[in-house]
Amino acid sequence: MLQGSMQIALILLLIIATTPLLGRYIAQVFMEEETPLDAVINPLEQVIYTLSAVRKDHMTGWQYVTAVLYSNLVMGILVFIILMLQGWLPLNPTGLGAPSWDLALHTTLSFLTNTDQQHYSGETTLSYASQTFALGFLMFTSAATGLAVGITFIRGLTGRPLGNFYSDLIKSITRILLPMSIIGGILLIVAGVPETLASPAKATTLEGVTQIIARGPVAHFEIIKQIGENGGGFFGINSAHPFENPNGFSNLLETWAMISIPSALIYTYGIFANNRKQAWLVFWMVFIIFVCLVGIAVVGEFQGNPQVNALLGGQQPNLEGKEVRFGWAQTALWAVMTTATMCGAVNGMHDSLMPSGGFATLFNMFLQIIWGGQGTGTAYLFIYLILAVFLTGLMVGRTPEFLGRKIEKKEIVLASVVLLVHPFAILIPWAIVFGFPDTLSGISNPGFHGVSQVVYEYTSAAANNGSGFEGLGDNTLWWNLSTSVSILAGRYIPIIALLLLADSMSRKQPVPMTSGTLRTDTKLFTGVTSGVILILGVLTFFPVLVLGPLAEAFLISRGG
């Protein structure tokens, strides 16, 4: 227990130390201040702007929305074509044919939206060309799209012009994602992650049997998977595979990479708003909730299954679905981290988590703000702050204000849309599945765990997370199409509402602060916000949690 606690503490300290450093750099990039990379990046960006004819004119909310949707549509069509033609394209050493149209569509939409939910095993389904030029391409652009939207939302909240989507997209890639990926990719290669275009290796086992060992250009794919909060693995078992995550150092690097940008963006907001105090208060609020959820998962995995312990005659950690090179502690931390950041990568099987681990991972994806998705998670977090301002304003009979701008009907409607899309995208298809369980569900584990399997799949899709309880038989026409609907609704409806809300806030005239103005950079208001977050999350999804992990935990404790 002590060793596991020390490993977790090291990660947490690393997060605290790097948040202001990376947050300050991201602010410099998007406030167009001088950065250490200017000498290298400026000429590269100039070439991109010249070839693409992109102009840096400021956009309105609807113009920004249109740019996001059009660019994503074009990229999605391009990638779908690559997947369907992979049998005729080069870099296909094992001669793989095209996947089914519904699987190709689901995969395209999943990676386009930064979800990366996989209903296939990468090494036996997709060629090197598909993995690199289709999915790898979307890993950069989808993460950059989310980051651009998050920054634009921060601009709107702080009364700045929204900026230009194409310029923000380019900066996100050239100045943040690409430099971090180059450094991280090199470190992963040093750690033992392969980066090769060679065909799968053949080896003869001690029994004299020929074994085919899949490999490929993994290192560059792995690092943007983590930094961009994509989560889709080159191999079927994701970061539990030794070629994606071979040792403790790679595990440390990949764990930090998941949270590096989401945690830093809170500090970036503080710089934009010229209020670092509020940024730190929000950071510590999220950090405390996160640590509590880690504790819930860690204790459950350390205590293990009481029924198994009874057979063994003593307490044993739950090692089912774990890689021995990481153990129960790092697997539990990773599970909470990957669902808190909406990354979705796994270094162990979530289907094997104790019910407390299933509770923590589901709760993260229900809320989407601990720490949230790439850019959009930070925006969702400040949606809760706006709602907290609105509720407290009603209590004292004042017009609510945030950062000196009034929160009125339009802002509340748009904020409500952001939060209400999520339960609709989860609970409606979940109910349909259990209306036709024999033909649609694909459940491999009946009972309460089966309930968790289904709700986890739709929650992962709607939250743009991508992880899963992998016991579910999800590569069917129903699952590919129904989760695609949840993926699209969970991605684009909130983005549209966020951008329109940012546009509305940016156009408001600031009102002077008075003695009656509610300050949002106090411990009291931060506490109220945390209460709003937890109450809304619990009230919306508590029945699902009761029917899934909570009921399963009760059943196990009773020896059922």
CA–CA separation, 236 vs 233, rounded Å?
Answer: 6
Token pair in block for residue 376: 């959009």
Of residues 234 and 441, the one with the higher pLDDT is 234
| Nearest partner of 377 among 332, 422, 407, 427, judged by Cα | 422
Of residues 507 and 446, the one with the higher pLDDT is 507
For residue 556, is pLDDT > 80? yes
Spatial contact of 96 and 86, defined as CB atoms under 8 Å apart: yes
pLDDT tens, residue by residue, 160-208: 999 999 999 999 999 999 999 999 999 999 999 999 999 999 888 888 8
For residue 399, is pLDDT > 80? no
Q: Residue 234: its pLDDT value, please?
A: 95
Average pLDDT score over the chain: 91
Q: Residue 381 to residues 252, 302, 401: CA-CA distances in angstroms?
A: 26, 31, 17
pLDDT tens, residue by residue, 2-46: 666 788 899 999 999 999 999 999 999 999 999 999 999 999 999
∠ at Cα 371 (465, 404), nearest 5°? 125
Which residue type is seen at 476?
T
Percent of the chain with pLDDT over 90: 70
pLDDT tens, residue by residue, 74-130: 999 999 999 999 999 999 998 999 999 999 999 999 999 999 999 999 999 999 999
Q: Residue 515: its pLDDT value, please?
A: 66
Q: Residue 290: its pLDDT value, please?
A: 95
Q: Residue 216 to residues 84, 94, 107, 130, 348: CA-CA distances in angstroms?
A: 20, 11, 20, 12, 21
Query: Is residue 1 very low, low, confident or very high in pLDDT (cuts 50, 70, 90)?
Result: low
Q: Residue 374: its pLDDT value, please?
A: 85
Distance of CA 32 to the CA centre of its chain: 27
3-state secondary structure at position 478: helix
Q: Residue 424: its pLDDT value, please?
A: 94
pLDDT tens, residue by residue, 505-518: 999 888 777 666 77
Summarize the confidence of residues 209-232 as an average pLDDT.
Answer: 94
- pTM of the full structure: 0.94
Largest CA-CA distance found in the chain, in angstroms, rounded: 82
CA–CA separation, 493 vs 512, rounded Å?
Answer: 33
Q: Residue holding tokens 């899949």?
A: 214
**Domain regions of the chain by residue span:** 2-557
Query: What backbone phi and psi angles, to 5 degrees, belong to 125?
Result: -125, -40
Summarize the confidence of residues 481-506 as an average pLDDT.
Answer: 96
3-state secondary structure at position 382: helix
Q: Residue 512: its pLDDT value, please?
A: 76
* Burial readout 376-398 (b: 16 or more C-beta within 10 A, e: otherwise): bbbbbbbbbbbbbbbebbeeeee
Number of H-type helices and E-type strands within the chain:
22, 4
